[in-house]
């Protein structure tokens, strides 16, 4: 089930195919200094593949059936275990911009693999920015899940007086779900089920760790041609707030995927906002178009009520007065959920039933990620994923050996108690510098940026351009 056009285009040689073409993008730093290295001899020390955390077993049943007529996902092959030959390697280049950073595709000189390098700029502008970046960094190092992007490495920081930005290396994925949706690539029911299953599987893990993503959208769902999916971009993520009296920022989630409670000015929300976003993406996968595409937040709310009908007062209990008044002064709207069957031929009764459980106006009545995974619509997606795509199960001559837990929760909640000790930007800088240094101990030969690299200069320019365009308000 490879995507059409998924093969990488041919390029006229690698950006750094030989030493005589200039400085490398990275320095392999074994001495602790940040000076440019003259060679890469003895630097290769690739980390071995991670082993499944749990002992697998044969399940009594997985659920669903193999179906018929549709292509089956190709067997999973981890990009991290493949070293491309020079003819297949693309030049270092920008591949995306997150909520608060720029991402490049670069080559790791230690093993020749293409990886994603994310720069987190302007880290120490103020205490809010410092806490936000440290939170994202710790999350990326905390995650241990096949459907959630995590940090492979962090580049060695300079002396603390010169420490201004952070560089994180993650796995390089081939595309994202937005590009797939708007492409001519056919999406079968099996594609949709496998994608939706992985999104919810990753979200269950995040929510069990107490983490709200707060920006789930197709562009933040990375995919490979074998349909493996990973949730990325945690620039807006935060720990769930148990105290409902504590106000949370409303400057979250791209508008088309924003839950009604956020649109209506609720000062407190929970993991249900991520489920709403998944529902919007589910409908977009079925119909190949954005479900609620409005020009303003007010119009966005109007489109939602056109579909779901006028909500009861109990569903607007946390809304601000202006939003509640806007809903009440308009004409009463009946629900028109039957139009969801018109999204595509794939909008079956099971699909629409699950979609309607996600697109519920009242967050208290919206389905959870765990319950959504138990819906019969996802049985085939679970079967296909664990039959040939996952790392938690494996094949033996006698058959397939399955893991004990198909959708594992986090082993422990993500803690943000460290933020209590960050009372100043300098304290934050010291904490982050110490965290990165300790994270690198006993691991691979550390990398640092070579500022003399021509690619680095382009990287800096693209970062500066992006920073001038970003006008988001940061959470207090």
Instruction: Point out the residues that are catalytic.
Output: 215
Do the beta carbons of residue 166 and residue 432 sit within 8 Å? yes
- E strands in 302-459: 394-396, 399-401, 447-449
Enclosing H/E stretch for 118: strand 114-120
Do the beta carbons of residue 230 and residue 195 sit within 8 Å? no
Do the beta carbons of residue 257 and residue 236 sit within 8 Å? no
Closest CA to 173 of 225, 136, 233: 225
Please report the DSSP string for 348-362 in residue order.
-HHHHHHHHHHS-SS
Find out whether 118 is annotated in a ligand binding site: yes
Do the beta carbons of residue 160 and residue 41 sit within 8 Å? no
The span from the CA of 157 to the CA of 40, in Å, is: 20
Which contacts (CB < 8 Å, 24+ apart) does range 12-18 have?
A: 13/86, 14/86, 14/89, 14/91, 14/107, 15/91, 15/92, 15/455, 16/92, 16/107, 16/455, 17/86
**Exposed e or buried b per residue across 59-79, where buried means at least 16 C-beta atoms within 10 angstroms of its C-beta:** eeebebeeeeeeeebeebeeb
Do the beta carbons of residue 463 and residue 197 sit within 8 Å? no
Displacement of CA 467 from its chain's centroid (Å): 21
CA angle 153, 407, 133 (to 5 degrees): 35
Secondary structure (3-state) at 34? coil
| Helices H / strands E in the chain, number of each | 12, 14
For residues 304, 308, 309 and 315, what is the CA-based torsion angle, rounded to 10 degrees? -90
The span from the CA of 166 to the CA of 156, in Å, is: 9
Do the beta carbons of residue 151 and residue 140 sit within 8 Å? yes
The span from the CA of 391 to the CA of 371, in Å, is: 23
The annotation places the binding site for ATP at 118
The annotated binding site is made up of 118
């Amino acid at each position: 089930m490879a995507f059409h056009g998924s093969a990488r285009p041919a390029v006229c040689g690698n950006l750094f195919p030989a030493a005589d073409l200039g400085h490398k993008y990275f320095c392999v730093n074994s001495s602790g200094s940040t000076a440019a290295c003259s060679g890469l001899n003895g630097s290769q020390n690739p980390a071995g593949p991670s082993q499944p955390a749990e002992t697998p077993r044969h399940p009594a049943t997985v659920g669903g059936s193999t179906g018929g007529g549709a292509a089956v996902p190709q067997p999973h092959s981890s990009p991290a275990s493949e070293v491309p030959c020079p003819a297949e390697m693309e030049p270092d280049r920008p591949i995306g911009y997150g909520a608060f950073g720029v991402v490049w595709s670069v080559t790791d000189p230690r093993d020749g693999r293409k990886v994603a390098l994310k720069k987190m700029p302007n880290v120490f502008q103020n205490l809010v920015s410092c806490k936000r970046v440290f939170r994202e960094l710790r999350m990326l190092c905390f995650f241990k899940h096949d459907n959630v992007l995590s940090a492979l490495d962090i580049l060695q920081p300079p002396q603390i007086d010169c420490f201004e930005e952070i560089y994180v290396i993650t796995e390089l994925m081939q595309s994202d779900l937005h590009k797939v949706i708007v492409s001519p690539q056919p999406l079968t029911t099996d594609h949709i089920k496998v994608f939706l299953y992985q999104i919810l599987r990753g979200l269950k893990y995040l929510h069990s760790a107490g983490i709200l993503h707060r920006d789930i959208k197709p562009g933040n769902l990375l995919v490979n041609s074998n349909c493996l999916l990973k949730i990325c971009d945690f620039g807006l993520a935060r720990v769930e707030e148990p105290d409902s009296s504590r106000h949370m920022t409303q400057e979250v989630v791209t508008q088309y995927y924003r839950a009604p409670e956020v649109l209506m000015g609720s000062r407190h929300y929970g993991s249900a906002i991520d489920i709403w976003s998944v529902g919007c993406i589910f409908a977009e996968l079925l119909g190949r178009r954005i479900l609620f595409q409005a020009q303003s937040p007010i119009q966005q709310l109007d489109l939602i009520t056109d579909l779901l009908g006028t909500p009861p007062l109990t569903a607007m209990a946390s809304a601000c007065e202006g939003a509640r008044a806007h809903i009440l002064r308009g004409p009463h709207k009946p629900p028109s959920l039957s139009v969801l069957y018109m999204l595509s031929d794939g909008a079956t009764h099971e699909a629409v039933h699950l979609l309607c459980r996600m697109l519920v106006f009242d967050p208290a009545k919206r389905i959870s990620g765990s319950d959504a995974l138990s819906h019969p619509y996802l049985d085939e997606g679970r079967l296909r994923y664990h039959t040939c795509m996952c790392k938690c199960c494996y094949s033996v001559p006698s058959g397939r050996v399955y893991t004990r837990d198909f959708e594992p929760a986090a082993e422990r909640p993500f803690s943000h108690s460290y933020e209590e000790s960050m009372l100043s930007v300098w304290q934050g800088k010291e904490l982050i510098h110490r965290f990165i240094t300790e994270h690198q101990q006993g691991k691979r030969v550390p990398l640092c940026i070579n500022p003399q690299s021509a690619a680095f200069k382009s990287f800096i320019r693209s970062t500066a351009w992006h920073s001038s365009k970003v006008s988001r308000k940061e959470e207090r």
